[in-house]
Amino acid sequence: MYKMYGKILIIGGYGGVGRALVESLVRYYAAEVFIGGRNKEKGLGLKEAIQRKYPEAILHYRQVDAADRKSLEHNFQDVDLAIVTAPFRIRSV
């Protein structure tokens, strides 16, 4: 049995690095993972693909814009750890 490692948000979770990280967290650490990004279709597609491979996985999709401060603040509120794997540039406020 794996130890549960809390709620982890991966921003850019459906990109190359993000995808590998999401799968590793689900496979080796039994973490509850939130796949974050702007493209809902890509995020949900990855969620479904990993869920088929690891039926016990606890996966979610969240719409997150890494360049939007309010989006980040909102999505950071209930996670234990957030990891950014997406390239971005903060827009001026």
Rounded Cα gap, residues 47 and 60, in angstroms:
7
**Per-residue pLDDT tens digits for 7-23:** 999 999 999 999 999 99
> 21-79: per-residue pLDDT in tens?
999 999 998 789 999 999 999 999 999 999 999 999 999 999 999 888 899 999 999 99
pTM score, whole prediction: 0.86
| CB burial of residue 93 (10 Å; 0-12, 13-18, 19+) | exposed
Contact 91, 67 (CB under 8 A): yes
User: Confidence band (pLDDT; 50, 70, 90) for 93?
Assistant: low
CATH architecture of 7-84: 3-Layer(aba) Sandwich (3.40)
